[in-house]
Amino acid sequence: MQTPKNTYIHIPFCKSKCHYCAFTSTVNLKLVDEYVNALIKEIKFRYQNNIQDTIYFGGGTPSILPVELVNKIYKLFDLNDCNEVTFEVNPETVDFDYLKSLYEIGINRLSIGIQTFNENILKLIGRKHTPEMALDTIRYAQNAGFKNISVDLIYGLPSQTVEDFISDLGKVKNLDIQHVSLYGLQLEPNTLFYKKTPENLPDSDLQAEMHEYTAKILDDFEHYEISNYAKSSFQARHNTIYWQNKEYYGFGCSAHGYQNGVRYSNTSNIHKYIETPCEHEIEHVVSEKEKLEEEIFLGFRLSNGIDVEYINKKFNIDFENKYNDILKKYLNTEYLKQTKNGYCLTEKGFLLSNIVLSEFI
Ligand SMILES: C[S@@+](CC[C@H](N)C(=O)[O-])C[C@H]1O[C@@H](n2cnc3c(N)ncnc32)[C@H](O)[C@@H]1O
Ligand code: SF4
């Protein structure tokens, strides 16, 4: 039995739903106490008391939880050697005292949902905070002692111009932030934007231009993963285990985990989860073929790309022979290049990663 050293915990609550977001969450905050009790039950049932290297509280909006409840969950884990405990924060929900208390119980990394600093666009996408609240949250976090702060930005938002986006990047650059997650807007089923597509969305050329500016403006960050930029030594340790295709615990409503070669997920129905938190809804034994495909798909998300010798040994294959046609086809383009140890996508390749990588699957 392998015991994962990394844990994801889902907190499925939000004060309100943003127009673009399909993450599992409810605005029924009356369920918080019952939910946390169920979550604790699941953790006690499944967690094997082994030391954790990373813990990630994601959502929804973890910062909806009172710090006492966060501590109750957090205390269940053996964290002697724990390197990174990340907590997702929405500026709408926090003040200085809250962040200071989080820091004091041992949370050492914050991921703050900024999306944009443009007041008009924040309204158009259904965010309830102002740019000032976002800036305050970053300042509070720094004053509370956090030295590892990540922000989420989205590009391709309704009415967003390249200049708007450049202004967002400029603000981030001047804020002593260590990490940026940058997502292109996706129109996800079960969202307001999916039902009624906003009119003034930037087209794909404009989106590509915005993407190109990111690396230019955030020139003190490394673009180490398709959607992530970090200053040196601040790469997200927890998320990196996903891209390295390693195993991890997943706890909570709609959480996914990977253990002993089995990928599992919990129900995304919060009532059902509260009733039966220890039952996985889906369990899937990952076949060798799927493992190899996942390794390639996830590995190419990283700027280092894939290590051919490592893959050959792990899967007992000759990678270059097996994928000769695809490699030949894309090495002749601007999307794929050879590295010292294997292959990686280029900046242009990152933008078209779905097309290139689907060929391997
Ligand atoms: C769980 S939320 C982060 C924490 C908190 N709930 C908040 O919104 O401030 C995860 C992040 O995913 C990104 N996201 C969610 N839906 C998206 C979409 N449809 N397109 C692009 N990015 C999206 C946003 O940047 C968001 O901050
Ligand atoms: S982006 Fe964050 S706050 Fe908005 S609905 Fe999604 S999880 Fe909730």
Whole-prediction pTM = 0.96
**Topology agreement, domain 6-242 and domain 289-296+305-361:** no
pLDDT in tens, 305-332: 999 999 999 999 999 999 999 999 999 9
pLDDT in tens, 186-207: 999 999 999 999 989 999 899 9
Contact 27, 15 (CB under 8 A): yes
**Domain range annotation of the chain:** 6-242, 289-296+305-361
Mean pLDDT over 261-278 rounds to: 97
Ligand closest to 207 (CA) is 1
Distances (CA, A) of 51 to 24, 105, 237: 28, 17, 15
Measured in Å, residue 81 CA sits from the centre of ligand 2 at 31
- Give the position, in ligand 2's atom list, of the atom nearest the Cα of 127: 4
Burial class, 100, CB count within 10 angstroms (exposed 0-12 / middle 13-18 / buried 19+): middle
- Give the position, in ligand 2's atom list, of the atom nearest the Cα of 60: 7
264 CB contacts (<8 Å, ≥6 apart)? Answer: 250, 256, 257, 258, 280, 282, 283, 284
What's the pLDDT band for 80 if we cut at 50, 70, 90?
confident
SS3 222: strand
CA pair distance 253, 278, nearest whole angstrom: 10
pLDDT of residue 266: 98
DSSP 8-state assignment for residue 51: P
CATH top-level class of 289-296+305-361: mainly alpha
DSSP 8-state assignment for residue 13: B
Measured in Å, residue 262 CA sits from the centre of ligand 2 at 29
The CB-based long-range contact list for 215-224 (8 Å cut-off, 24+ gap) reads 215/347, 217/166, 217/169, 217/170, 217/173, 218/169, 218/172, 218/173, 218/180, 220/173, 221/179, 221/180, 222/303, 223/303, 223/347, 223/350, 224/302, 224/303, 224/304
Per the prediction, the chain carries an average pLDDT of: 96
Ligand closest to 190 (CA) is 1
> With 80 as the cut, is the pLDDT of residue 6 above it?
yes
pLDDT of residue 9: 98
Determine the CATH number of domain 6-242.
3.20.20.70
> With 80 as the cut, is the pLDDT of residue 126 above it?
yes
What's the pLDDT band for 1 if we cut at 50, 70, 90?
low
Q: Is 361 or 137 the better-scoring residue by pLDDT?
A: 137
Question: Which residues face 293 on adjacent strands?
Answer: none
> With 90 as the cut, is the pLDDT of residue 2 above it?
no
Find the Cα–Cα–Cα–Cα dihedral 347, 349, 354, 358, rounded to 10°.
-150
